[in-house]
Amino acid sequence: MSINYSERIPNNVDLASNKSLQRALEHWQPAYLDWWNEMGPEKSQTAEVYLRTAVSVEAKGWAHFDYVKMPDYRWGIFLTPQDPQRTISFGAHKGAPVWQEVPGEYRSTLRRIIVTQGDTEPASVEQQRHLGLTCPSLYDMRNLFQVNVEEGRHLWAMVYLLHAHFGRDGREEGEALLARRSGDADNPRILTAFNEKTPDWLSFFMFTFITDRDGKYQLAALAESAFDPLSRTCRFMLTEEAHHLFVGESGIARIIQRTCELMAQHKTDDPAKIRALGAIDLPTLQKYLNFHFSVTSDLYGSEISSNAASFFTNGLKGRFNETGIADDHQLHGSEYPVMDVVGDRIVARHAPALSTLNERLRDDWVADVANGVSRWNRVPEKHGIPFRFSLPHKGFHRRIGLFAEYHVSPDGLLMSESDWTRRHGDWLPSAEDRAFVHSLMGRVAEPGKFANWIAPPATGINKQPVDFEYVRFS
Ligand SMILES: [Fe+2]
Ligand SMILES: [Fe+2]
């Protein structure tokens, strides 16, 4: 079904045929806009932004680009079309038709899963709300705002499910999603990583590269769900998510590029000299990578989890690429390696695969992050600079799971409390590092101009030139 833009809420779910659902969502819509105006990008209400809007859910050509004022963005409900043949691909119900309605016994669990996912979407908009004021270029500002409006749409995606399938409880959850605030002491967002600040553009690019990639893996696991509306919602969200990952990966690559250019030009690898030249030294970038990687690792939860096992067995949440995996999809008697601490050493052991699904999803994500990092490493390589970025050990700087009670160095050695206290400033951004990065942030809002600490992109958005006026101010 094509997207109907003549309705107040654009959708491809035939919303007009369900009047009570339509009314409930039209009631939520002004509350959403109030939230956007209060917590969305600061001082951006009148800017005209060159944004893409979904006009179809087909794999090719779903995007339409035009200037839009963000409060006028047509947030809507877009699901990948239903496959009437689709059956449950894993767990105890494997082979049965997928569910179009929520089974009573899984109602509260599914609601919790949807709310937890949904909560991350407005959280990231809140975390990023000041960044427009310090954008390194109009191109970057446009990308930030694109990410922001799409995270807003992802909230719509989850609130639609709550309204359509969870009755009054769902409507109450929809209101609570607009009431929590990232970093708020009394009513914070659900997950810790979404209460951290995103205070500068280096953090933003790391966040979109690393934490949006957690989003990709969570959505991919939910796209396997036996609850078909959730699966279809997540499938379309994944197509939007790909751009967020691009923004992060290319953003960091451009920072590395600029730093390497200056290092080559001035024949130096001295961080103090690089900083004096107004760029971010590579060791500082590595510290930010360590920080965002470790904080995001925690989002996958404990290595051993009976919740993850029951989500899988009950068909609520699959593995990444579940249908592409060649096994029984029920994990009877199979095992998966997890880490363990024995005495003063970290060792690998095998545990029942069903209980290690969090760890497995984390491993899939780690491999994907590592691929991105190796693409970054081509930049110093190309400049003849020996520095290489690397991911810290999975146990480094963790607050959740097996490693929460230990201190682990980036190369995987257990450390004493006092050694950690002495050394962690070498591995995580210090207050001084953050202050330096912060000092570089200043708004560059002239077409084709870029802040000194970041290289221009190789190409523009939607085949537009790099010096295109991506944001217009009236
Ligand atoms: Fe999202
Ligand atoms: Fe995202």
User: 61 pLDDT exceeds 80?
Assistant: no
Residues 231-256 as b/e (b if ≥16 CB within 10 A, e otherwise) read: bbbbbbbbbbbebbbebbbbbbbbbb
pLDDT of residue 121: 98
User: 212 pLDDT exceeds 80?
Assistant: yes
Question: Residue 337, Cβ neighbours under 10 Å: how many?
Answer: 14
Q: Supply 11's token pair.
A: 């959708």
User: 190 pLDDT exceeds 80?
Assistant: yes
Q: What is the β-pairing status of strands 345-352 and 335-342?
A: antiparallel
Mean pLDDT calculated for residue range 257-271:
98
Note residues around ion ligand 2 (Cβ under 5 angstroms). 212, 215, 241, 244
Question: Residue 323, Cβ neighbours under 10 Å: how many?
Answer: 12
Question: Of the ligands numbered here, which is closest to the C-alpha atom of 153?
Answer: 1
Query: Sorting pLDDT into bands at 50, 70 and 90, what band is 7?
Result: confident
pLDDT of residue 60: 67
Question: Of the ligands numbered here, which is closest to the C-alpha atom of 123?
Answer: 1
pLDDT in tens, 227-246: 999 999 999 999 999 999 99
User: 320 pLDDT exceeds 70?
Assistant: yes
User: 57 pLDDT exceeds 90?
Assistant: no
The answer to whether 250 and 457 are in contact (CB under 8 A) is: yes
Question: Of the ligands numbered here, which is closest to the C-alpha atom of 146?
Answer: 2
CA 34 to CA 53: how far, in whole Å? 21
Mean pLDDT calculated for residue range 394-404:
97
* Burial (Cβ within 10 Å: 0-12, 13-18, ≥19) of residue 273: middle
pLDDT in tens, 341-355: 999 999 999 999 999
Cα of 329 vs its chain's centroid, Å: 27
In the chain, % of residues over pLDDT 90: 95
Query: Tell me, what DSSP letter sits at residue 209?
Result: I
Sign of CA dihedral 415, 418, 421, 426: negative
Helix axes 282-297, 357-382, angle to 10 degrees: 170
pLDDT of residue 157: 97
Mean pLDDT calculated for residue range 77-94:
96
Q: Supply 378's token pair.
A: 């081509």
Residue pointed to by tokens 């003849």? 384
pTM, full prediction? 0.97
Residue pointed to by tokens 């560059």? 444
CA 364 to CA 166: how far, in whole Å? 31
Query: Sorting pLDDT into bands at 50, 70 and 90, what band is 58?
Result: confident
Q: What is the β-pairing status of strands 63-69 and 407-408?
A: unpaired
Give 151 Cα–ligand 2 centroid separation in angstroms.
Answer: 6
Looking at the DSSP bridge assignments, the partners of residue 341 are: 346
pLDDT in tens, 140-164: 999 999 999 999 999 999 999 999 9
CA 136 to CA 445: how far, in whole Å? 8
- The rounded mean pLDDT for the chain is 96
The answer to whether 275 and 453 are in contact (CB under 8 A) is: no
Give 211 Cα–ligand 1 centroid separation in angstroms.
Answer: 10
pLDDT of residue 55: 82
Mean pLDDT calculated for residue range 33-42:
97
Query: Sorting pLDDT into bands at 50, 70 and 90, what band is 222?
Result: very high
pLDDT of residue 1: 62
Q: Supply 331's token pair.
A: 């994990």
CA 10 to CA 15: how far, in whole Å? 9
Give 40 Cα–ligand 2 centroid separation in angstroms.
Answer: 15
CA 296 to CA 300: how far, in whole Å? 8
Q: DSSP string spanning 264-299?
A: HHHT---HHHHHHTTS--HHHHHHHHHHHHHHHHGG
Q: Which residue in 474, 470, 459 sits closest to 143, CA to CA?
A: 470
Give 154 Cα–ligand 1 centroid separation in angstroms.
Answer: 5
CA 156 to CA 169: how far, in whole Å? 16
Give 118 Cα–ligand 1 centroid separation in angstroms.
Answer: 8
Mean pLDDT calculated for residue range 417-443:
97
Give 418 Cα–ligand 1 centroid separation in angstroms.
Answer: 39
Long-range contacts of the stretch 360-363 (C-beta < 8 A, 24+):
360/319, 360/320, 360/336, 361/217, 361/218, 361/221, 361/300, 361/319, 361/320, 362/297, 362/300, 362/394
pLDDT in tens, 449-461: 999 999 999 999 9
Mean pLDDT calculated for residue range 98-127:
98
Which residues are within 8 A (CB) of 298 and not within 5 positions of it... i.e. 6 or more apart?
A: 192, 193, 398, 399, 400, 401
Give 215 Cα–ligand 2 centroid separation in angstroms.
Answer: 6
